[in-house]
Amino acid sequence: MFHKEGYKIILITFAIVAVLSLVANHFVGNQYYRGGIILVLIVFLILILQFFRNPKRHFSLNANQVLSPVDGKVVVIEEVFEKEYFKDKRLQVSVFMSPINVHVTRYPVGGPIVYSKYHPGKYLVAWHPKSSEENERTTVVVKSEKFGDVLHRQIAGALAKRIVNYAKEGDIAVQADDSGFIKFGSRVDIYLPIGTKINVALNQKVKGGISVLAEQ
């Protein structure tokens, strides 16, 4: 199963791979070179397919929990000053996604969407300290009944060239539903109230919509 954001790229990639394979088969006389070219093209197609995969998952929704919005590895757990929306201190949890992770972004909590904004920007590596302020990014805030306003921010990385954000102010977010998609490598930051109980540790691997980042 593939995410809708990948349909066009998958079709284009498949067509390119098919054409180049036919060209190699027709014009490259050496069978080892020909086989090598075709193998590289097939591997490239497989990488594109796995990047846009959207595995079926069974979610267990709980208003007392904050779920990980994405697959990846926890790279930041710290108290920070959030400048854009809260303008005060929050507990930040960041999840880094490599190109081989599933890149669907999911709502960590459910409730009314009170803020949604896109920011154009740079493409620093996703773990760069200034990437959350200078890179292309989107900021979404959902008003949770249990946690209050919970902010999650999609941040483009060095490879990511397009962030897709489905969140619209005034809509009702359903926990674990699709919030967006980031193409080719990225990071997501979650901002929680100070004192929230965190359920993950640094370098822990998490799954979007499955792993519990925090709870009451």
Q: How far is CA 92 from CA 58, 152, 195, in A?
A: 27, 10, 11
Q: Which is the catalytic residue, given 131, 179, 186, 211?
A: 186
Q: What percent of the chain clears pLDDT 70, i.e. is strictly above it?
A: 91
Question: Domain 65-215 classified CATH 2.70.70?
Answer: yes
Domain ranges (residues) in the chain:
4-51, 65-215
Please report the pLDDT score of residue 109 as a whole number.
Answer: 98
102 neighbors 211 (Cβ within 8 angstroms): no
pLDDT tens-digit profile of 37-66? 999 999 989 888 877 888 888 899 999 999
Please confirm, yes or no, whether 21 is among the known catalytic residues.
no
Please report the pLDDT score of residue 29 as a whole number.
Answer: 80
166 neighbors 134 (Cβ within 8 angstroms): no
Q: How far apart are CA 210 and CA 67, in angstroms?
A: 6
Q: pLDDT class for 160, splitting at 50, 70, 90?
A: low
Residue 28 pLDDT > 90:
no
Residue 15 pLDDT > 70:
yes
pLDDT tens-digit profile of 104-118? 999 999 999 999 999
pTM: 0.83
Least confident of 3-12, 113-122, 126-135, 164-173: 126-135
Q: How far apart are CA 154 and CA 132, in angstroms?
A: 9
Of residues 81 and 158, the one with the higher pLDDT is 81
Please report the pLDDT score of residue 99 as a whole number.
Answer: 78
Q: pLDDT class for 6, splitting at 50, 70, 90?
A: confident
**What are 174's two structure tokens?**
């359903």
74 neighbors 202 (Cβ within 8 angstroms): yes
Please report the pLDDT score of residue 185 as a whole number.
Answer: 62
Q: pLDDT class for 173, splitting at 50, 70, 90?
A: very high
